[in-house]
Amino acid sequence: MEEGRIIEVNNLRVSFDEREVLKGVSFSVNQGEITVILGGSGSGKSTILKHLLGLFPVKSDIVSVFGSDLAEVDEDDLRFYKKLGVFYQNGALLNSLSVGENVALPLEQHTNLPAEIIEDMVRTKLNLVNLEDAFYLYPSQLSGGMLKRAALARAIIMDPPLLFCDEPGAGLDPVSLAGLDDLILKLRQQLGMTVLMVTHEVSSILRIADKILFVDNGIIAFDGSLEEARKSEMKALKDFFTVGTGGKR
Ligand X SMILES: Nc1ncnc2c1ncn2[C@@H]1O[C@H](COP(=O)(O)OP(=O)(O)OP(=O)(O)O)[C@@H](O)[C@H]1O
Residues that bind ligand X (CB under 6 A): 16-17, 21, 39, 41-47
Least separation in angstroms between CB 196 and ligand X: 13
| Separation of alpha carbons 197 and 165, rounded Å | 5
Residues 6 or more apart in contact with residue 248 via CB below 8 angstroms? none
Least separation in angstroms between CB 144 and ligand X: 19
Least separation in angstroms between CB 188 and ligand X: 23
Burial degree of 135 (CB within 10 A; 0-12, 13-18, 19+): middle
| Separation of alpha carbons 192 and 189, rounded Å | 5
Q: Which is nearer to ligand X, 75 or 233 (CB)?
A: 75
Q: Which is nearer to ligand X, 12 or 103 (CB)?
A: 12
**Nearest one of 43, 37, 66 to 160, comparing CA atoms:** 66
Q: Which is nearer to ligand X, 3 or 17 (CB)?
A: 17
Q: Which is nearer to ligand X, 45 or 125 (CB)?
A: 45
Angle at 224 between CA 214 and CA 22, to 5 degrees: 30
Least separation in angstroms between CB 20 and ligand X: 10
Least separation in angstroms between CB 49 and ligand X: 8
**Pairing assessment for the beta strands 211-216 and 68-69 based on DSSP bridges:** unpaired
Q: Which is nearer to ligand X, 15 or 141 (CB)?
A: 15
